[in-house]
Structures are given as C-alpha cells and as structure tokens.
Amino acid sequence: MSAQGIQPWPYSIINTVDDVQFPVATVKFVRRAIGGRGVDLSMPEGLLAGCNCSSDAQCSDCDHHEKDQERDGNGDASSTATPSSQASQTALDDDDGDDAGSHCTCTHRYGAVCDPTGRLLQPEWSRRPLLECGPNCACPMSCGNRYVQRNCHGARSLAIYRRAPLGWAVRTLVAIKAFSFVCEYAGLIVRERDARKIDRERGDNMNFLLILKERRSDSSALKTHVDASTCGNVSRFFNHSCAPNLDLRAVRTGSIVPRLAFFAQRDIVAGEDLAFSYGDCAPPADGDTTPRLKCNCGAENCGGFLPFDANAFPDEGSTQVQ
C-alpha cells in the first residue's frame, strides 16, 4: 500500500451479462478522497481549535448530543450534490459562539454527526454544518464523533456488479436503515482550474467529476471538486436515479475541505441498488437543442434524461452528466 492509501479493490465484483472487465488496472482504489496538486487540506489557523476530551465517550455524552438524538423518525433530506453540477449547502463559518464549558466543543457547537450505529443525527436538510472531531482534538480515533472518517468506504456490505443497460452498478448486500452512513465519495480533490481541464478533455468518456458548492452566511461560496476518473472507491459506480435512496452531505473532519458523505435517504433492503440524484432531471426546455443522454433509472417519476448543467463552469461552456 502506498503512502496515499492505495490498495486492491476490496469489494465483490460480479459480471454475468457481458465481457467487460472491471477497470482494476486503470482505476486505483482509495478509501477516501485525497488531495491533488495544489490542494490545501488544512484547517485555517484559529477557525477550530479542537476539543480537549480525554476519552472517546466524552464527545458523545454532552447535552447537545443527547438532544440531537431525539430526531424526527420521518425526517427527510434532498440530495442536490451532483457530478459536474453545483450543490448548495452551508459552509463552515468562523467559530464565534459561546464557550462550551466542560462540554465537547465540537459537539456542543455543531452537534454530533452520527450516533454509535452510524445514523445521521441531523437527517433533515438543515443548513447546519456537519463537523466531526479532527486532528486538533485530544480524543482518540475511537471517539463517537469520528464515525464517517473511520468507516469511509463500506467495503464488506457493498458489491459492484454489471447491469444492463446501466453498466457498472452498486447494490447493498445487507439492509441499510434510513439516515445511515454508507460511504464517502472518494477520488482526487482538485482545484477548480484543474477540474475545468478534466471536464474539457474527457471527450466522450464517462464523467466522474463531482462538484459540491457550499454557500456561506456572507453569500460567498466554497467549491469542492472530487475527480474519481483514475482513483476512487465503490461510490464511483453509484448510478443516477430520479428517485434516489442516497443523499450527499458535506462532513468536515479537521479540514476546510469537506468529505462528501453518502447517507441512506430511507430504509434500503438487501439486494437493492444504491443511487443518488445527479441533479435537475427536468426535460429540455422548448427550443433547447443541447444533446441529452437518456435516463435508464426506471423510476416512476423518471424525467427521461440524465441531468445537464450548463453552469458547472461559468463562462466555460456546459457539462453533460454521464
């Protein structure tokens, strides 16, 4: 294994429909997103000092965490983060709140991200940042507020298989409860100018560039670009669905650059495909002659076409999601 965490693909890989080989020789497995050229993954000095919890339990025991556990079981979330399109969430703003006292400062301010079983404690599509304990925290990796960073690739419970006419797809081998963490979108975190080049030069090749746009309270925006063309994990093969069962949330774990984390939008049964919405599925407007790709998701509410974002890179043309 290299210093960047490259390993053999640890998933079951099944193809009973054609002779296409899994791209093990051209796509390297990485557990999590890794920084590309010129990408700074550090947290700006003074933004978050980290907690001083002395045990892994302390981060899970503060009053704020327990209040969050009383979530609405019918909560829902709407996934808008998409490959080569822009999703709006609220970015982490400067820490300007009250002193948390003896509580874990991470969970006191933002609430814990997951419960001990990996279920999202804030399932509603809130504008509240999701923040796990990070490298500036005194708590160990076994801390209850580090679930996403400990379980980023979901290897044992997911399988990659060949499905006509979609190509490669992913299904779960076990039932997944609503709001449970599934895996991180892994790949190479790239600068916007490099993302533009990747999009421009891919030609007719499949698109594995995911762009997340987060809005700050001052109306400025942060963008995260993750390219899974040459490296990634099982999430690289999640297909689009007009009725998705996964949501994508930004979770920060000690860096201003978030992890792009998939959570179950509803209860998912064993054997079911995993999919998320690539973006707006509306059909072309009258007079729009832009070539569009057919959507084969099979959902009752299918829009008929894969999402298309003409503003993924402003002033740089348009991007077809594939």
Look at residue 110 and tell me if it is in a domain.
Answer: no
Nearest-angstrom CA–CA distance, 109 and 113: 12
pLDDT tens digits, 168-192:
999 999 999 999 999 999 999 999 9
Percent of the chain with pLDDT over 90: 37
Q: What is the CATH number of the domain that holds 32?
A: 2.170.270.10
The domain total for the chain is: 1
Q: Please indicate, yes or no, if residue 160 is contained in any of the structural domains.
A: yes
Element (H, E) at 188: strand 188-190
According to the model, what pLDDT value does residue 317 have?
45
Residue 107 covered by a domain: no
Tokens representing 59 are 């981060």
How does pLDDT run across 16-71, given as a tens digit for each residue? 999 999 998 899 999 999 999 999 888 777 677 788 887 766 776 543 344 443 44
Domain region containing 213? 1-44+77-94+153-322
Q: Which amino acid type is present at position 68?
A: D
CA proximity to 146, closest of 107, 189, 100: 107
pLDDT digit string (tens) for 117-164?
A: 899 987 765 556 788 998 888 888 888 899 998 887 777 789 999 998
DSSP string across 51-118: ---SSTTGGG-SHHHHHHTS--TT-------EETS--EEEPPPP--S---TTS-HHHHHH--SB-TTS
Task: Examine residue 54 and state whether it is found in any structural domain, yes or no.
Answer: no
- Residue at 113 is within a domain: no
- pTM of the predicted protein model: 0.81
Q: How far apart are CA 313 and CA 310, in angstroms?
A: 8
Least confident window among 161-170, 178-187, 268-277, 299-308: 299-308
- Is residue 60 included in any domain, yes or no? no
90: Cα separation from own chain's centroid = 15
Q: Residue 80 pLDDT more than 60?
A: no
Question: What are the residue ranges of helices labelled H in 186-322?
Answer: 192-201
Mean pLDDT across 95-121: 73
Rg (CA), the chain: 19
Q: Is residue 53 part of a domain?
A: no
| Domain contains 135 | no
